[in-house]
């Protein structure tokens, strides 16, 4: 890419910001809005050869799900025959790692601010069944107001809610930040390993060096497995107590997010009104308060089943020839009982016969035949993470034009107040 080149008539692309094994990141400007963005560029051939197609799909799915002030936002995905482009939020302050590298360490008050923002972002991800699995200073950026931004969800995982042991089994992460249980072959809790990495980050922020370090990798792993680290003398007693409880080699006794929020070092500077306000906001956004009437059993989506969650993130055309489909998907944070009630209400409004099935399917059938037979529609509900759902609306029978008109004029407008994001918009626009 040449300096100041124009990408797809939409972005003026400037200097190189960074480079990894499979991608380069450039500074760019949206020509229409003037907004400064970053563009992450993947080479398709390298992605295919490395077998990373599903990983990129997953990263897009995850980034679209995690809309949070302390997480880098994914604005748009584009592609050419040779490249894939992620248009993402630009963090002007750069890597937190560089700040530590230059200054050596930060004061506890500064670390306290960053750590609280990190825990808020991690808690938000976990509430959606998303685990980062590679939290480290290099993946924490700063915006122009010095607020922390989590990035790089390339190794993230989505847990299926029906997975019996709810454990991850892939060894990943950066050695110095990895939790001891990840080194074993018995599986691990993604939430607990993220918490461990947060503890390592907190230690480095205030100490200026890693808690577990050794020139011999196996020796370093031994220290990690034994939780063998020593806090420097300038750490406050409350910080030492918090770190010992986070960097606990036993995941069963390691602090949870709620446990961290209850520790005195974390809570300093909070007032009770602010805590109450933040709790109410979280419950509203994440749907923590669940409807007790939920009874309908629904299937759970594997992370790799989720290609994207809105039309702007449909990757099917990036990797394979796009087929003519009769499906559209939407995601929602509403409880199952309300979701099913709204689908039934919509079906009756459309004068369709509505039937519920135990496996999470709401079937809607027209009472009269159309040009190509009776229109028959299935709305199948899938669970994503703890409290989010994806609904696939699919035509099983009948005339395609009638079905698409129904989608455009009745179904989409009728559900707009409960929909979070749509995918397959090309079918209804």
Q: What is the pLDDT of residue 183?
A: 72
5-89 is a CATH 3.40.30.10 domain: no
Question: Active-site residue 152, yes or no?
Answer: no
Q: What is the pLDDT of residue 359?
A: 65
Query: What confidence tens digit (pLDDT) does each residue in 316-345 have?
Result: 444 444 444 577 778 787 887 888 888 888
Mean of pLDDT values over 25-35: 93
Min mean pLDDT across 118-127, 309-318, 320-329, 365-374 is at 309-318
User: In a 3-state reduction of DSSP, which class is residue 44?
Assistant: helix
Min mean pLDDT across 74-83, 168-177, 306-315, 404-413 is at 306-315
Q: What is the pLDDT of residue 28?
A: 95
- 428 has a pLDDT exceeding 80: no
Chain mean pLDDT for the chain: 76
From CA 274, how far away is CA 257, in angstroms rounded? 18
Q: What is the pLDDT of residue 314?
A: 45
Per the residue annotation, which of 43, 120, 123, 134 is the catalytic one?
134
Per-domain residue ranges of the chain: 5-89, 94-286, 299-427
- Which residues are known binding-site members? 49
Mean of pLDDT values over 130-145: 86
Task: Tell me which of 30 and 302 has the higher pLDDT.
Answer: 30
CA torsion through residues 205, 220, 172, 85, sign: positive
From CA 291, how far away is CA 339, in angstroms rounded? 11
Mean of pLDDT values over 220-244: 92
What angle in degrees, to the nearest 10, is found between the helix axes of 272-286 and 108-126? 30
From CA 258, how far away is CA 119, in angstroms rounded? 10
Confidence of residue 204 (pLDDT cuts 50, 70, 90): very high
Q: What is the pLDDT of residue 33?
A: 93
Indicate the fold that domain 94-286 takes in CATH.
Transferase(Phosphotransferase); domain 1 (1.10.510)
> pTM value?
0.61
Q: What is the pLDDT of residue 315?
A: 47
- Which residues are known binding-site members for ATP? 49
**Dihedral-angle region of residue 94 (phi above 0 means left; psi in -120 to 50 means alpha; beta otherwise):** left
- 363 has a pLDDT exceeding 80: yes
Q: What is the pLDDT of residue 384?
A: 61
Q: Which CATH superfamily is domain 299-427 in?
A: Kinase associated domain 1, KA1 (3.30.310.80)
Q: What is the pLDDT of residue 277?
A: 46
Mean of pLDDT values over 228-237: 93
Task: Tell me which of 20 and 117 has the higher pLDDT.
Answer: 117
């Amino acid at each position: 890419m040449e300096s100041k080149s124009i990408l797809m008539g939409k972005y003026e692309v400037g200097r190189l910001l960074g480079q990894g094994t499979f991608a380069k990141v450039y500074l760019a400007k949206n020509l229409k809005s003037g907004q400064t963005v970053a563009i992450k560029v993947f080479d398709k051939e390298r992605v295919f050869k490395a077998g990373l197609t599903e990983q990129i799909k997953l990263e897009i799915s995850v980034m679209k799900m995690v809309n949070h002030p302390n997480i880098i936002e994914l604005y748009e995905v584009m592609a050419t025959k040779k490249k894939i482009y992620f248009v993402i939020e630009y963090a002007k302050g750069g890597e937190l790692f560089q700040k530590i590298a230059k200054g050596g360490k930060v004061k506890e008050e500064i670390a306290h601010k960053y750590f609280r923002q990190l825990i808020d972002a991690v808690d938000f991800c976990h509430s959606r069944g998303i685990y980062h699995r590679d939290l480290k200073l290099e993946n924490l950026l700063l915006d122009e107001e010095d607020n922390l931004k989590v990035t790089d969800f390339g190794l993230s995982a989505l847990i299926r809610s029906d997975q019996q042991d709810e454990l991850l089994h892939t060894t990943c992460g950066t050695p110095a930040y990895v939790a001891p249980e990840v080194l074993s072959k018995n599986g691990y809790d993604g939430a607990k390993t993220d918490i461990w990495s947060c503890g390592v980050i907190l230690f480095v922020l205030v100490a200026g060096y890693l808690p577990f370090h050794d020139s011999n990798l196996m020796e370093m792993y031994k220290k990690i497995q034994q939780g063998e680290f020593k806090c420097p003398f300038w750490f406050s007693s409350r910080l030492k107590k918090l770190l010992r409880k986070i960097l606990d080699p036993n995941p069963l006794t390691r602090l949870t997010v709620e446990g961290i929020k209850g520790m005195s070092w974390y809570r300093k500077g909070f007032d009770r009104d602010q805590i109450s306000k933040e709790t109410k906001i979280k419950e509203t956004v994440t749907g923590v308060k669940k409807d007790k009437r939920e009874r309908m059993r629904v299937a759970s989506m594997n992370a790799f089943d989720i290609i994207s969650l809105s039309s702007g993130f449909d990757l099917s055309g990036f990797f394979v020839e796009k087929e003519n489909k009769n499906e559209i998907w939407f995601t929602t944070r509403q409880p199952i009982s309300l979701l099913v009630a709204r689908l039934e209400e919509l079906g009756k409004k459309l004068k369709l016969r509505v039937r519920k099935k135990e496996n999470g399917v709401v079937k809607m059938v027209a009472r009269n035949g159309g040009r190509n037979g009776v229109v028959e529609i299935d709305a199948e509900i899938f669970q994503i993470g703890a409290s989010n759902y994806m609904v696939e609306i699919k035509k099983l029978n009948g005339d395609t034009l009638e079905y698409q008109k129904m989608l455009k004029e009745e179904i989409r407008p009728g559900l707009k107040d409960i929909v979070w994001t749509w995918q397959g918009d090309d079918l209804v626009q």
